[in-house]
Structure 1
Amino acid sequence: MELSYYVYFLTIFVLTITLTLNFLFFRHPKSPSPTNLPPGKSGFPVIGETFQYLASGWRGHPESFIYDRIRNYSSYIFRTNLMLEQTVVFCGAPAHKFIFSNENKLVQSWWPSSVDKIFPSSNQTSSMEEAIKMRKMLPNFFKPEALQRYIGMMDIIARRHFDSDWGKNDYIVVFPLSKKFTFWIACRIFLSVDDPKEVERLLERFNLVAEGLLSLPVDLPGTPFRRAINASEMIRGELIGIIKKRKIDLTEGNASPVQDILSHMLLTADDDGKFMTETDIADKILGLLVGGHDTASSACAFIVKYLAELPEVYHGVYNEQMEIEKSKAPDELLNWNDIQKMKYSWNVACEVLRLAPPLQGAFRSVLVDFMYEGFSIPKGWKIYWSAHSTHKNPEYFSDPYKFDPSRFEGSGPAPYTFVPFGGGPRMCPGKEYARLEILVFMHNLVKKYKWEMLIPDEKIIVNPMPVPEKGLPVRLFPIN
């Protein structure tokens, strides 16, 4: 992925001017300065250290923003200014435990206000409030017992995907294809959309949304943020068309009330007995589709990368998957028992998620003043917890940059050190869903191909998800 630093510096300049004018002419009443704050600095006026934070990911070393400051301040807790907010960064397993254990007590989930422009709620509520509603609705779909019925469907899509998108050439670019695979599954399970052409057309617009989601919030023509807003509006219109047709199909008995999340949303009332509007459902499906494929697509791409670089790991995965394949009848689909046998493959996937976590970290808003490690954490400030503060920390993972799936054998890593899906009440409800599609991908990948990377040691950049800088081109060698 080519990144123009000229464009980013120009964006920073425009953002600084815009926000400074806003700050000068529309400033809010100043709150008293708290005492005994964690060490740190606020960086540039208004924008703080947001550029340094984003640039560390563009350079391929997102953890450097965290570890440079831990080293400079001799503290695992430090303050900064990110996304235009006074922010305290919490690092390390004890900090993770504290944040996850105090969800909705001392802190609550928070997103930059720019996210609400991309995902505007038809109810005029914040993205945080909408996410709370969604978390109440999703568990029944993402429980292991509910997901079991989707394994065969995932296997069918994987077979079609590898035949149609990998089997045409001996040279492919992995990352866009891994996104297509996971998005195809999300469209099928959430919306019962299964036409590859329709999936691909939707994916082009969803990619624009994902790229702009945590970009600099500069709402000017041509910026990633403006492209994301435009794309989300177009997708929302298409989703409303799908919803209208589903309502008719449900009325006429041509669709099942339990066939996917869309049917469930149309037929489920809230605590007050009210049903969601078409626009409200479109808003929520939009968010689900973005979140439902990005995490797993990143993991799938980097599994390809690490298996190419580490032949002994590839052979371990291959041997495990071929034992499962040999136990199956011709054309028999994968099932829940097969998934449970993929222990080494999942250890490999977890090590990929440790080294290249799709979720770099997350923000929380402070609900009340509190003290932590002797420092004052003021109400209204934001907290950012970082996966890299434990994933690449030798205190928790010896030789942290070495790829070692054995870390996940037995009881695995210590609690709160491996957090690719968050933790506590805010643990990603789609964790098991992601595990299934990643393992189904690995099974179909290694039984069909060996491959070699065409760009050795291709850099991983973060923008805001980890991606291979050039998309991970590989040469395929089909296995009979």
Structure 2
Amino acid sequence: MSTLLISFLLFFPIFLLLVRKKRSSNRLPPGSLGVPIIGQSLGLLRAMKANTAEKWIKQRIRKYGPISKLSLFGKPTVFVYGPAANKFVFNGDSSTIANQQPKSIRMILGDRCLLELSGQDHKRVRDALVSFLKPESLKKYVEKIDGEIREHLKLHWHGKEQITVLPLMKTLTFNIICSLLFGLERGPKRDQFVSNFETMIAGMWSVPVNLPFTRYNGSLKASARVQNMVKDLIQEKRKKLEQKTASPHQDLITCLLSIRDENGQEVITEKEIVHNVMLVMVAGHDTSSVLITFLVRLLANDPAVYAAVLQEQEEIAKDKSMGEFLTWEDLTKMKYTWRVAMETLRMIPPVFGGFRNTLKDIEYDGYHIPKGWQIFWVTSMTHMDNTIFPEPSKFDPSRFENQSSIPPYCYLPFGAGYRICPGYEFARIETLLVIHRLVTQFTWKLQCSDNVFSRDPMPVPTKGLPIQIVPKNLQ
């Protein structure tokens, strides 16, 4: 009996400690992260699919505060919330915080894309991408993008009574990417690209189980096929550059191949070109198509906003002759339309959140985050904070009339700081050109009254947003 009593007295304090740890297992104890909870990835993915992910995150914040720990995609993770947390994530020292995605996504996109690089490597590759994607360079491609849009409408919209917006917008944005960024014109090779790319995208945010017949396994195989196709493109373009039959700036790949250092050596390796082409394909395809789709939905649901957008675009159209392409100067006049787009991005950001990876033990807001842990942030949490955006559920484009009034690190559809998306201007041009052509050539109404959407991982409207369209007798 005495032995049992002694054992009980020795074990009881440990038992109490374990109970306390279990009860507060998601809480970040001062100075320590404790033991992470495993298996919460499915909960988040289900919440995204059901469009309750923001609610899922809000419950965590109410229960555990703006900093808490969990396990996502097989790694211990720290969730952080608020403008200060966003600044910490986007402007963090690259020697302590790396812009790394979960291994499951890294296996698909590659480990030398911009999302994975830090320090001088990040700056070198980003500068190379920006050399093509900066406004000064993109100005001369407005006509080419407009031409792709007009061809798309001719093939897929004119002569139709009903279309489904999201899949068509994905087709359009991918065609623009193929034409402008890769110099890949319409034909069997582009069609093969599209097929493999869609399979790759379908499994990117699935449960990362690499077994035959799973979505993730299919995504990995499709990624390998796409990368091989990009490598073939690189070889073709390098040969044309050597033969001087191609311009150094006719598309993104030739631009990257043409950038040289002071010794005449290529600044970007072939592997980095491949992996960053993969990244640009994903970023340019999904985010722009989602934004345009939800703008179409908004304009169908909000007559006042539609009327204001239409008036702005008709003012531009009346000065154009039949068949004339839009210009950079025309885009500068679309100020209200872009404010509508920015408010749409605030309420329905295409990117739900992102990850960083700690390269060494760090301190944040009094807590110790061990080396190798993920840091997880969510875009919409500051977007829908009523202390930052009054009446956040109200659609109000006037919020962006004076953008300097919006506190730093609160509006994040394209990121922030030195890691802001280099394709921001490309997305703006593409969106404005598409909306101009749609509102001046068609009227439409929704065929599905359901206003909810899910995330997979991008926002997806009900049934892909089927609409009934009527052409206008305009150019």
Q: Tell me which interval the TM-score lies in, with the shorter structure as reference length.
A: 0.7 to 0.9
In 2: Cα distance, 1:124 partner to 1:447 partner: 38
1:95 and 2:85 matched: yes
Contact 1:458 1:472 in 2 (8 A): no
Q: For each residue in 1:224-280, what CA deviation from the matched residue of structure 2 results, as whole angstroms up to 9, or x when unmatched?
A: 211111111222232233333323333333321221121123333468865466565
Deviation at 1:475, TM superposition (A): 0.6
1:213 and 2:207 matched: no
Contact 2:33 2:369 in 1 (8 A): no
Q: 1:376 aligns with which of 368, 373, 382?
A: 368
1:410 and 2:398 matched: no
Matched with 1:140 is: 131
1:429 and 2:422 matched: yes
Instruction: Pick closer, same or farther for the CA change 1:81–1:156 going to 2, 3 Å.
Output: same
Q: 1:239 aligns with which of 213, 222, 230?
A: 230
Instruction: Pick closer, same or farther for the CA change 1:120–1:382 going to 2, 3 Å.
Output: closer
Contact 2:113 2:276 in 1 (8 A): no
In 2: Cα distance, 1:126 partner to 1:158 partner: 29
In 2: Cα distance, 1:210 partner to 1:103 partner: 31
Q: 1:294 aligns with which of 286, 296, 319?
A: 286
Matched with 1:338 is: 330
Contact 2:49 2:454 in 1 (8 A): yes
Counterparts of 1:210-289 in structure 2, within 5 Å, are 210-269=201-260, 274-275=265-266, 281-289=273-281
Three-state SS of the structure 2 residue aligned to 1:470 is helix
In 2: Cα distance, 1:237 partner to 1:88 partner: 36
Q: For each residue in 1:51-80, what CA deviation from the matched residue of structure 2 results, as whole angstroms up to 9, or x when unmatched?
A: 11111110012211210111112x122221
Counterparts of 1:296-375 in structure 2, within 5 Å, are 296-375=288-367
In 2: Cα distance, 1:429 partner to 1:108 partner: 18
Q: For each residue in 1:291-320, what CA deviation from the matched residue of structure 2 results, as whole angstroms up to 9, or x when unmatched?
A: 222211111111111111111111111110
In 2: Cα distance, 1:109 partner to 1:453 partner: 40
The one-letter amino acid paired with 2:166 is: F
In 2: Cα distance, 1:425 partner to 1:470 partner: 37
Counterparts of 1:394-405 in structure 2, within 5 Å, are 394-405=386-397
Instruction: Pick closer, same or farther for the CA change 1:37–1:448 going to 2, 3 Å.
Output: farther
In 2: Cα distance, 1:126 partner to 1:434 partner: 18
Three-state SS of the structure 2 residue aligned to 1:371 is strand
How many residues were matched structurally? 443
In 1: Cα distance, 2:72 partner to 2:123 partner: 24
Consecutive unaligned residues in structure 2, runs of 5 or more: 1-27
1:36 and 2:30 matched: yes
Matched with 1:30 is: none
Counterparts of 1:46-195 in structure 2, within 5 Å, are 47=39, 49-73=40-64, 75-120=65-110, 127-128=116-117, 134-195=125-186
Contact 1:320 1:345 in 2 (8 A): yes
Using structure 1 for the length normalisation, give the TM-score: 0.85
Contact 2:132 2:255 in 1 (8 A): no
Using structure 2 for the length normalisation, give the TM-score: 0.86
Structure whose alpha-carbon radius of gyration is higher? 2
Three-state SS of the structure 2 residue aligned to 1:138 is helix
Contact 1:80 1:86 in 2 (8 A): yes
In 2: Cα distance, 1:127 partner to 1:96 partner: 18
Matched with 2:471 is: 478
In 2: Cα distance, 1:271 partner to 1:100 partner: 31
In 2: Cα distance, 1:301 partner to 1:267 partner: 35
Point out the more displaced range, 273-282 or 390-399.
273-282
Point out the more displaced range, 334-343 or 270-279.
270-279
Deviation at 1:283, TM superposition (A): 3.6
RMSD across aligned positions (CA): 2.6
In 2: Cα distance, 1:40 partner to 1:166 partner: 56
Point out the more displaced range, 324-333 or 177-186.
324-333
Q: For each residue in 1:81-135, what CA deviation from the matched residue of structure 2 results, as whole angstroms up to 9, or x when unmatched?
A: 11212111111122212322324154221111122322346x8999446866532
Q: Identity of paired residues, percent?
A: 36
In 2: Cα distance, 1:469 partner to 1:222 partner: 27
Consecutive unaligned residues in structure 1, runs of 5 or more: 1-33
Matched with 1:5 is: none
